[in-house]
Amino acid sequence: MPELPEVETTRRGIDAVITGKTLRRLVVREPRMRWPIPADMPSLLSDRTVLECARRGKYLLLRFEHGTQIVHLGMSGSLRSVPSGEAPRKHDHVDWIFEHATLRLHDPRRFGAVLWHPDSDGPIIAHPLLAKLGIEPFDPRFDGAWLHQQFRGRSMAIKQALLAGSAVVGVGNIYASESLFRAGIDPRTPASRVSLARCTKLADSIRATLADALASGGSTLRDYVGATGQPGSYFDIHAAVYERDGRPCRVCSTIIRRLVQGQRATYYCPRCQRR
C-alpha cells in the first residue's frame, strides 16, 4: 500500500505541475471506486483553477476556489503525469486534463477514492475521513512526550498502536517495522509500557525513517510509482528488517524474524529490539 512517503512524493510531483493551473476537463472512466465518484464532479471542476495541492495523512487534497477534491491511492494505486493523448491502460480510471499536462489515476483494485468536499460543508479538516487522524510526523509538536501521552492506558502492541493512526499518521506497516527497529523496541511490547525515554527515541526514529523514505522517493513495493512514473528506492538503500526474514541483521547478525500482527507481517531483530 502506498504510505505517507509515497503519497508525499506524489504530492510534490503533481504540485509542481498543477498548482495555479486551470483544469480543463475531468474524465471519469470508472466511477466504481471505494466510494462511487459523484456523477456531477466533472461539471463541478471544469475550467476551475487548482489553488493548492496538499496532503493530510495518506489523502491528497486538491483545493479549488469552491471546495477540495480528496484523492486516496488505495492499496496499489498511483497518480502520475502522462503525455497528452497517451491511450489509457486497463485500470486507468480518472484523468485530470490541463492544457499543459494530464494526470492519470491508475488503480487495479479500485480501492482508492476521488471525493468532493464543497466549502459550504465547512473546513476540509472536519471531513469524516480526516477529522480523527493523528498528528503529522513532521509537525513540530510531535515528540516523545506526545507519543507517551497517546499510548497511556493502551494495552495493544506498540506496532498496532502505530498502525492505528490515531497517535501519529503515516506510519504504515513498512515504516512501522523499520522505525521500531531503529528505536530498539520489540513490536509486541504493549504501548502503555513504552517509557517516555523510549517514546522519544521512537519519535526520532519515525521522523528519520520517513525522511529517508522521502529522500528515496518512497518504496519499490508492489506497483507503486511516483508522479513521474518512476519507482522509489527506499528498500535498495535503507531497509533494515522489512521483508528480510531469515537473513542476518545488519547490526548484530542475528537472524531477522517474521510474525503476523493483526493480519499484517511484522519483521524484527530479536536481539536489537527488546520489550
pLDDT, tens digit, 9 for 90 and up, residues 101-136: 999 999 999 999 999 999 999 999 999 999 999 999
**Residues whose CB is less than 8 angstroms from the CB of residue 65 and which lie 6 or more positions away in sequence, other chains included:** 48, 49, 51
pLDDT at residue 9 is higher than 60: yes
Average pLDDT, stretch 225-254? Answer: 76
Decide if 58 is catalytic: yes
Average pLDDT, stretch 44-52? Answer: 98
Which pTM does this prediction carry? 0.88
Is the Cβ–Cβ distance between 237 and 246 less than 8 Å?
A: no
- Round the CA-based radius of gyration of the chain to a whole number and report it: 20
Decide if 132 is catalytic: no
What's residue 180's pLDDT? 98
pLDDT at residue 273 is higher than 70: yes
Average pLDDT, stretch 171-198? Answer: 96
- Residue tagged active-site, from 11, 55, 58, 154: 58
What's residue 239's pLDDT? 86
Residue 148 identity (one-letter amino acid): H
What's residue 27's pLDDT? 97
Residue bearing the bigger pLDDT, 219 or 23? 23
Average pLDDT, stretch 76-81? Answer: 89
What's residue 1's pLDDT? 64
What's residue 217's pLDDT? 74
How would residue 84 be classed by pLDDT, with cut points 50, 70 and 90?
A: confident
* Bridge partners for 54 per DSSP: 61
How would residue 220 be classed by pLDDT, with cut points 50, 70 and 90?
A: very low
How would residue 233 be classed by pLDDT, with cut points 50, 70 and 90?
A: low
The terminus-to-terminus CA distance of the chain in angstroms comes to 28
Residue bearing the bigger pLDDT, 141 or 229? 141
pLDDT above 70: percentage of residues in the chain: 92
- Residue tagged active-site, from 3, 6, 8, 178: 3
What's residue 74's pLDDT? 92
**CA 127 remoteness from chain centre:** 18
- Residue tagged active-site, from 48, 207, 257, 264: 264
pLDDT at residue 262 is higher than 50: yes
Is residue 158 helix, strand or coil? helix
Average pLDDT, stretch 50-74? Answer: 97
Is the Cβ–Cβ distance between 179 and 206 less than 8 Å?
A: yes
Decide if 21 is catalytic: no
- Residue tagged active-site, from 2, 137, 187, 231: 2
How would DSSP label each residue in 98-148? ESS-EEEEE-TT---EEEEEEGGG--GGGSTTTTT--B-TTSTT-SHHHHH
What's residue 259's pLDDT? 97
Q: What is the largest CA-CA distance in the chain?
A: 59
pLDDT at residue 190 is higher than 60: yes
What's residue 2's pLDDT? 77
What's residue 184's pLDDT? 98
pLDDT at residue 73 is higher than 80: yes
pLDDT at residue 219 is higher than 80: no
Q: What is the DSSP letter of 223?
A: T
